[in-house]
Structure 1
Amino acid sequence: MNILSNKEGTLDWLREKKLITLERSCPVCDDDMRLTETRDRYDGLKWTCKKRKGVDRHSKECSIRKDSWFENSNLSLPETVKFTYWWCMGISQKLIIQQLQLSDHTSVDWAMFCREVCLESLNNQQNQLGGPGKFVEIDECKIGKRKYNRGHIVEGQWVFGGIERDSRRSFLFAVEDRSEKTLLRLILQRIAPETTIISDCWKSYSNLSKHGYQHETVNHSVEFKNANGYHTNTIEGHWRHLKASLPQYSRKKEHYESYLAEFLYRYQHTDEEMFLSFIDDVAKMYNKTL
């Protein structure tokens, strides 16, 4: 990454991407603060404002990281960028820890920060799937069941999902149950009227046609596709990829929402494109005017 070849180049790139503010006002006098070099800070620069005359004389300073993605990080700016880039590229946590010589705790925290960006980005994209002439497959899946009473105990979680055919548009929700009340609310929220919805024969889907949808069902106990040629292979493939993407150990139920967000974010982006999109989403999180 050429942007990390020297400190000046790194800072210029961070400011260009709006990951670090280009200007800051003094909290005392409201004048523009100056960016000055320093040896007493990790990054070599700090914001300062010094007034030596009059009743308003003061001396204020703050980190260039203030109110940014980096504010609470103990990593250097280049280390943080490297972690983010490698995480976006799908590099394993183990390898990132080795390369940056991080503690497990630091690595876990930063992976969680990254998933939170994915979650906020997806929450800002609440567009409906489907519409007239579109096909959306839906299904529910139990994730985290321990098979045959062996292996590491992982708390199970029901997930409800939908995927629009011939696109990379989809949704996933961690749900407490598979009742019609729970699933129908999400279907009405995320799937447009007049969509053809394809599902299995789970009873919670039995009234979809009453809510403005075309509904096709596949009875998986006797067939892989119904008499009209409809199947749910796409959403079933989605489940396989989701399960493969989840951490094998130390999964916590309260983090499933962020695991699902990471999976969907990666599904929407290629590796290289994901890093640039991710950086843009980080900037938007900390600069609401973008």
Structure 2
Amino acid sequence: MTYGLLYKHQICNRCNKPMLFAITKKTIDECWWRCAKKSCRLTKRVRCGSFFKDKHVPLNKCIMIIYYWSLNDVSQATTEEILKVSSTGVVMSWFGMLRDLCTRWIRDHPIQIGGHGHTVLIAKNLISHRKRSRNGVVLPLNEKWVFGAIDQDTKETFLVEVYETNAETSLPILLKHLLPGTTVCSKDCNEYNKLMRATDNQSILFVAPTGPRKNIVENLWRCMTDKLKRMRGTSDANTLSYLDEFLWHRQRRNGDRSTCFQKALELIRTYYPCS
């Protein structure tokens, strides 16, 4: 309740009377809601209707899992060790649920970067490729790329999952995520400008890269791969959610640990309000 993640009041479903908050040893949370009417005494779990409603982990550990996830530098295995969580997959499940909230946030708040006076660098990286079996036969697995751009000054970033990175595929993505007036550095600038002229769209300008800008993109990939390595195992099916989680944390990378934690609580309150 202190963090605004639980309801401060409950109404009895049976007699429609206000319920009282009470301490008890009969639940995992050691508290519950109980109907004030003596002839009823219906009870509810304190987490009823909240983000925690279907979870079977003590609330104090739930909050600590959220805290360690918010830091973005503590692995699932380390969190399990610190909190002494013995049940297999509990922390992994919690990290996955929080990652799903990041995906909802990114979908509801599309990222746009750049603008007049801003220069962005195109970033693309192959994250899964065709693999061969022992007899040399190529397995039917499509190559998967991460494509996006990073503002060289503000370091704002957008990343998406794609299967091709040619100019025809990439241009609509760039037009969606870049603000008008943005200058884009790309070695394929001539091809991009040709497509822009064909569509009579001059909202962004493509130029050839100059100067030592490669480190900016390399640092972006290093941060993302470090994040994936800390997870100790990922699934190709969840690539998009990994990117969304990475972007959500990256947008909130400035601040101390308390600020990161508050941002995580704010994310939960956005989709599970308990007012």
TM over 0.5, shorter chain: yes
Q: Are residues 1:86 and 2:86 paired?
A: no
Whether the 8 Å contact between 1:168 and 1:267 is mirrored in structure 2 is no
Q: Using a 3 Å threshold, how does the CA distance of structure 1 residues 32 and 167 change in structure 2: closer, same or farther?
A: farther
Letter in 1 for 2:241: S
Q: Which runs of 5+ in 1 are unaligned?
A: 1-14, 219-224
State how far apart, in whole Å, the 1-side matches of 2:23 and 2:274 are: 28
1:286 paired residue number = 272
* Correspondent of 1:141 among 122, 125, 136: 125
Deviations 1:9-54 (A, max 9, x none): xxxxxx132111111233344443221222211112111225457x
SS at match of 2:179: coil
Letter in 1 for 2:90: T
Give the deviation of 1:281 after TM superposition. 1.0
Indicate the larger mover: 63-72 or 172-181.
Answer: 172-181
Question: For this pair of structures, how many residues does the alignment match?
Answer: 260
Q: Are residues 1:256 and 2:236 paired?
A: no
2:96 paired residue number = 112
Q: Give the alignment's TM-score, normalised by structure 1.
A: 0.77
Whether the 8 Å contact between 2:125 and 2:147 is mirrored in structure 1 is yes
* Correspondent of 2:43 among 44, 58, 61: 61
Q: Using a 3 Å threshold, how does the CA distance of structure 1 residues 232 and 205 change in structure 2: closer, same or farther?
A: farther
Q: Using a 3 Å threshold, how does the CA distance of structure 1 residues 96 and 186 change in structure 2: closer, same or farther?
A: same
RMSD: 3.1
Q: Percent identity?
A: 25
State how far apart, in whole Å, the 2-side matches of 1:46 and 1:288 are: 16
2:161 paired residue number = 174
Letter in 2 for 1:198: C
1:265 paired residue number = 248
Q: Are residues 1:165 and 2:152 paired?
A: yes
State how far apart, in whole Å, the 1-side matches of 2:83 and 2:260 are: 21
Deviations 1:244-270 (A, max 9, x none): 221375321121112112222232224
Structure with greater contact order relative to length (CA < 8 Å, sep ≥ 6): 2
Q: Using a 3 Å threshold, how does the CA distance of structure 1 residues 156 and 88 change in structure 2: closer, same or farther?
A: farther
Whether the 8 Å contact between 2:183 and 2:207 is mirrored in structure 1 is yes
State how far apart, in whole Å, the 2-side matches of 1:130 and 1:75 are: 43
Give the deviation of 1:238 after TM superposition. 0.9
Q: Which runs of 5+ in 2 are unaligned?
A: none
Q: Using a 3 Å threshold, how does the CA distance of structure 1 residues 186 and 67 change in structure 2: closer, same or farther?
A: farther
Letter in 2 for 1:61: T
Q: Give the alignment's TM-score, normalised by structure 2.
A: 0.81
SS at match of 1:265: helix
Give the deviation of 1:191 after TM superposition. 0.8
Q: Using a 3 Å threshold, how does the CA distance of structure 1 residues 28 and 190 change in structure 2: closer, same or farther?
A: farther
Whether the 8 Å contact between 1:33 and 1:47 is mirrored in structure 2 is yes
Q: Are residues 1:194 and 2:184 paired?
A: no
State how far apart, in whole Å, the 2-side matches of 1:235 and 1:204 are: 21
Letter in 2 for 1:49: C
Whether the 8 Å contact between 1:183 and 1:204 is mirrored in structure 2 is no
SS at match of 1:23: coil
* Correspondent of 1:244 among 214, 220, 226: 226
Deviations 1:157-214 (A, max 9, x none): 3111111222142111112332545422322221111111112328873424653211
Whether the 8 Å contact between 1:199 and 1:232 is mirrored in structure 2 is no
* Correspondent of 1:277 among 243, 260, 263: 263
2:11 paired residue number = 25
Whether the 8 Å contact between 1:208 and 1:215 is mirrored in structure 2 is no
Deviations 1:136-171 (A, max 9, x none): 222321114489999xx9985311111122214211
Whether the 8 Å contact between 2:112 and 2:158 is mirrored in structure 1 is no
State how far apart, in whole Å, the 1-side matches of 2:10 and 2:145 are: 46
